């Protein structure tokens, strides 16, 4: 298949880089266009392509625009060819725009992808990455079964269904499926579980999957598989101890990988797994999740009970208590636990409440495996920071990062100080942008854009704020405190997906604001900002 590719609509900048934040909805999709020598065609880098379903900005939604249409625009913008695709991490709002294997009709499938950069945590050969994946899979299996079990309780009157809905949201972020049983089916199948076990039911699928032999490098996720198949040249796994890397054919750019951290403590915010610890499945005894997993492994039957059989009454026999029953225990439970009008006091699902914390942790651990890239424009020294959804642990790890560049030491701190554009982490939410002062030991917003770099520092927040805050179960994306801090730091130079028009800070000098607007284009399908490779401070007049 070799159709003629169109001419790229986005022209290379005279110097530096144009950053286009697409308005596909709530999620990340960034196109970076660099000038490639004297070529008329830009060097295109795509960082992520995904969104939460149903989060189209209202103006596009009104015209019936969907995600596919935005990808079509991306296709035209880059002329159907991406020199490099970067996937920060595998969450729905970062990868849902990539095709699954075999999805040839997908609008993204038309695009030619040359190189693919992933975080070291995606590598098949890395033992730490492998261990992480195993735990990830086991945790996800547990959460899927939690959702399935909680869903079954939904008919019960007076029982709170909030937890089930919450877990569904997390499952969808991780896998694209909101139903626990769909996740179980897909995972079990990817793990090589026999079809008979899968069709027997979610519990059986869980049991078979959690006992399945571990297959090295096997991942169930489809979107990234599809993308991997599209790569023409090479897939590179980046790690903070390597680099900086050049972009092929470009002399003016260096790329520093900041994260994910190699330090397991900072990566997972957990103590490293110790050999001497007792474990239930993937969980250390006494740690969150261990109880859930133990109960599931015992298939939530009386054999999992902490008492000897003579004290135990099977739940089923209590639930089937008849009016004629004479056993005083059965009568007692019928009159208390099963009493009519008292359903709201039942606790059938409460023991799975731990899943909330587990899901949150899984979510932030995956966020924390984000590939964090810092692009340095060599002539001017300006940098651009793309953090994916990196969390606190990743930020802390940047404090010690240093690279040797032509015999000169370059630190992450130095690069942050020269930052001209910050892609705000995790849509501006809690723990993905750290607070602090210039003299804090940990990297934070105050370390960024120092001295003259402050005057045209721009923050891009890939958030459809209207949608996120207006959800039935609202998300604080961006969080007020972070938005306020960014507003102060940038004097209003914040670009969101929706509302797309930036608001000038009253204190901001008009000349700086005008210069910012000159470099910014609010388009229908994207918000674009140009960071030229020219020295800061010289152009304020």
Partner 1 sequence: MTSAFRPSRRLKVFAFDPSTARSFAGGTASSVTITLPFELDPQDPEAPFIGPKGEYVEVVDADPSSGAFYAPIDLNDAAVLHNDGLSPAPHDPRFHQQMVYAVSMNTIATFEKALGRVIQWSPHERKIEHADKPTEWVYAFTKRLRIYPHALREANAYYNPDKKALLFGYFTAGSASRSAPPGTTVFTCLSHDIVVHETVHAILDGLHPSYAEDTNPDMRALHEAFADLIALFQLFSFPSVLEDQIAKTKGDLGRQSLLGELAQEFGRAVGRGCALRDFLGGPDADGEWQAKEPDPAAYRNADGPHARGAVLVAAVFRAYLTIYKTRVSDLFRIASGGSGVLRDGEIDPDLKCRLAAEAAQCARRVMRICIRAMDYTPPVNVSFGDYLRAIITADRDLFPEDAQRYRAAFIEAFCAWGILPAGMPVISEPALCWPTLVQAEDNRQAINNIDEGLDWLEKIQSNLGLMLTQPRQMLSHLSSPMRISGKERRASYRLEAERTEAEAENVGLKIRERLLRLNDKSTTMQLNADTPARALVLDVNLLEIQGSRDREIVYHASNYYQRLLWLMMNCAASERFAELMGLCMDDTPLATIRRSRTTGMPSLHVASVRIAKRPGQRGQMEREYVIEVIQTRRGYFDADEQQGEDARKPNPDLSNRQCDFLYRTGTTFLVDARSFAIRRLIRTPHRIDDDAGLALCRDHMARAEAHAANAFYSGRSPRAAAFAALHNPAQPKDGFQ
Of residues 357 through 416, those in contact with partner 1 by CB under 8 A are: 357, 360, 363-364, 392
Min. distance of Cβ 307 from partner 1 in angstroms? 5
Give the number of other CB atoms < 10 A from CB of residue 470: 10
Q: Is 133 left (phi over 0), alpha (psi -120 to 50) or beta?
A: alpha
Q: How many residues bind partner 1 (CB under 8 A)?
A: 88
Site for partner 1 in 437-456 (CB under 8 A): 440, 442, 444
Interatomic CA distance for residues 31 and 528, integer angstroms: 9
336 binds partner 1 (CB under 8 A): yes
260 binds partner 1 (CB under 8 A): no
Min. distance of Cβ 342 from partner 1 in angstroms? 9
Residue in the block written with tokens 């003259």: 452
345 binds partner 1 (CB under 8 A): yes
334 binds partner 1 (CB under 8 A): no
Decide whether 109 or 370 has the Cβ nearer to partner 1.
370
Min. distance of Cβ 449 from partner 1 in angstroms? 17
Q: Which stretch binds partner 1 (CB under 8 A): 93-101, 124-132, 430-438, 499-507?
A: 430-438
Decide whether 290 or 385 has the Cβ nearer to partner 1.
290
Q: Say if residues 348 and 153 touch (Cβ distance below 8 Å).
A: yes
511 binds partner 1 (CB under 8 A): no
Q: Which stretch binds partner 1 (CB under 8 A): 129-137, 219-227, 350-358, 447-455?
A: 350-358
Give the number of other CB atoms < 10 A from CB of residue 533: 21
Min. distance of Cβ 231 from partner 1 in angstroms? 31
User: For the chain, what is the radius of gyration of the CA atoms?
Assistant: 26
Min. distance of Cβ 431 from partner 1 in angstroms? 5
How do strand 253-259 and strand 245-246 relate by DSSP bridges?
Answer: antiparallel
User: Which stretches within 51-192 are classed as H helix?
Assistant: 58-62, 67-78, 92-95, 127-152, 162-175, 180-190
Residue in the block written with tokens 């810092």: 374
Residue 14 tokens read as 């005279």
Site for partner 1 in 32-91 (CB under 8 A): none
**DSSP secondary structure string, 386-431?**
E-TT--HHHHHHGGG-EEEETTEEEEHHHHHHTEEEEE-GGGG-TT
Min. distance of Cβ 382 from partner 1 in angstroms? 25
Interatomic CA distance for residues 231 and 116, integer angstroms: 7
Identify the helix (H) or strand (E) that includes residue 397. Answer: helix 392-397
Min. distance of Cβ 300 from partner 1 in angstroms? 5
- Burial label for 450, CB within 10 Å (0-12, 13-18, 19+), is middle
Min. distance of Cβ 485 from partner 1 in angstroms? 6
Site string for partner 1, 89-128 (x = CB under 8 A): ----------------------------------------
526 binds partner 1 (CB under 8 A): no
Site for partner 1 in 284-303 (CB under 8 A): 284-288, 290-292, 294-295, 298-302
Site for partner 1 in 301-330 (CB under 8 A): 301-302, 304-308, 311-316, 318, 328-329
Interatomic CA distance for residues 487 and 482, integer angstroms: 8
Q: Say if residues 25 and 466 touch (Cβ distance below 8 Å).
A: no
Classify 356 as helix, strand or coil.
helix
Site for partner 1 in 127-186 (CB under 8 A): 160, 162-167, 169-170
Decide whether 233 or 271 has the Cβ nearer to partner 1.
271
Q: Which stretch binds partner 1 (CB under 8 A): 86-94, 227-235, 426-434, 487-495?
A: 426-434
Contact with partner 1 (CB under 8 A): which of 62, 347, 438, 506? Answer: 347
Min. distance of Cβ 13 from partner 1 in angstroms? 33
521: β partners: 528
Decide whether 299 or 400 has the Cβ nearer to partner 1.
299
Decide whether 211 or 440 has the Cβ nearer to partner 1.
440
Classify 304 as helix, strand or coil.
helix
Min. distance of Cβ 539 from partner 1 in angstroms? 32
How do strand 419-423 and strand 383-386 relate by DSSP bridges?
Answer: parallel
Interatomic CA distance for residues 121 and 49, integer angstroms: 19
Decide whether 336 or 540 has the Cβ nearer to partner 1.
336
How many Å separate Cα 318 from the centre of its chain? Answer: 44
Residues near 333 by beta carbon (within 8 Å), at least 6 away in sequence: 313, 318, 321
Site for partner 1 in 469-498 (CB under 8 A): 471, 473-477, 479-482, 485
DSSP 124: S
Interatomic CA distance for residues 399 and 412, integer angstroms: 7
Min. distance of Cβ 329 from partner 1 in angstroms? 5
Decide whether 195 or 357 has the Cβ nearer to partner 1.
357
How many Å separate Cα 209 from the centre of its chain? Answer: 25
Site for partner 1 in 189-228 (CB under 8 A): none
């Amino acid at each position: 298949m070799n159709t003629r590719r169109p001419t790229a609509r986005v022209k290379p900048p005279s110097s530096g880089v144009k950053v286009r934040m697409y308005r596909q909805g709530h999620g990340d999709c960034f196109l970076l266009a660099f000038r490639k020598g004297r070529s008329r065609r830009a060097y295109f880098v795509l960082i992520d392509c995904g969104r939460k379903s149903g989060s189209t900005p209202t103006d596009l939604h009104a015209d019936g625009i969907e995600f596919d249409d935005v990808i079509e625009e991306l296709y035209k913008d880059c002329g159907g060819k991406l020199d490099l695709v970067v996937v920060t991490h595998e969450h729905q709002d970062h990868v849902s725009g990539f095709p699954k294997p075999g999805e040839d009709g997908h609008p993204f499938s038309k695009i030619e992808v040359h190189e693919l950069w992933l975080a070291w945590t995606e590598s098949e050969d890395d033992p730490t990455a492998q261990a992480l994946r195993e735990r990830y899979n086991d945790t996800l299996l547990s959460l899927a079964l939690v959702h399935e079990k909680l869903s079954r309780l939904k008919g019960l009157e007076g029982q709170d269904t909030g937890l089930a809905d919450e877990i569904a949201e997390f499952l969808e972020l991780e896998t694209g499926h909101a139903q626990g049983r769909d996740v179980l089916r897909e995972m079990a199948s990817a793990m090589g579980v026999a079809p008979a076990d899968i069709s027997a039911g979610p519990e059986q699928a869980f049991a078979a999957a959690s006992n399945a032999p571990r297959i090295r490098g096997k991942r169930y996720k489809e979107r990234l598989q599809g993308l991997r198949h599209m790569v023409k040249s090479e897939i590179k796994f980046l790690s903070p101890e390597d680099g900086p890397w050049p972009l092929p054919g470009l002399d003016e750019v260096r790329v520093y990988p900041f994260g994910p951290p190699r330090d397991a403590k900072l990566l997972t915010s957990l103590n490293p797994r110790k050999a001497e610890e007792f474990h239930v499945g993937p969980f250390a005894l006494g740690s969150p999740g261990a109880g859930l997993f133990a109960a599931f492994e015992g298939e939530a039957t009386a054999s999992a009970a902490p008492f000897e059989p003579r004290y135990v009454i099977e739940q089923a026999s209590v639930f089937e208590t008849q009016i004629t029953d004479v056993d005083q225990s059965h009568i007692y439970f019928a009159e208390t636990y099963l009493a009519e009008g008292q359903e709201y006091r039942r606790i059938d699902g409460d023991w799975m409440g731990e899943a909330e914390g587990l899901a949150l942790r899984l979510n932030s651990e995956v966020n924390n495996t984000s590939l964090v890239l810092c692009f340095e424009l060599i002539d001017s020294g300006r940098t651009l920071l793309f953090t994916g959804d990196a969390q606190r642990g990743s930020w802390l790890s940047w404090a010690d990062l240093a690279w040797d560049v032509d015999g000169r030491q370059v630190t992450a701190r130095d690069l942050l100080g020269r930052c001209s554009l910050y892609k705000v982490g995790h849509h501006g939410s809690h723990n993905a942008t750290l607070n602090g002062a210039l003299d804090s030991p940990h990297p934070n917003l105050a370390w960024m854009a120092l001295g003259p770099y402050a005057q045209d520092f721009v923050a891009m927040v890939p958030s459809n704020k209207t949608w996120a805050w207006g959800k039935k179960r609202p998300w604080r994306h961006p969080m007020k405190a972070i938005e306020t801090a960014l507003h102060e730091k940038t004097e209003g130079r914040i670009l969101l997906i929706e509302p797309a028009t930036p608001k000038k800070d009253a204190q901001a000098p008009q000349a700086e604001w005008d210069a910012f607007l000159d470099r910014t284009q609010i388009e229908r399908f994207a918000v674009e900002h140009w960071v030229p490779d020219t020295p800061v401070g010289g152009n304020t007049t």
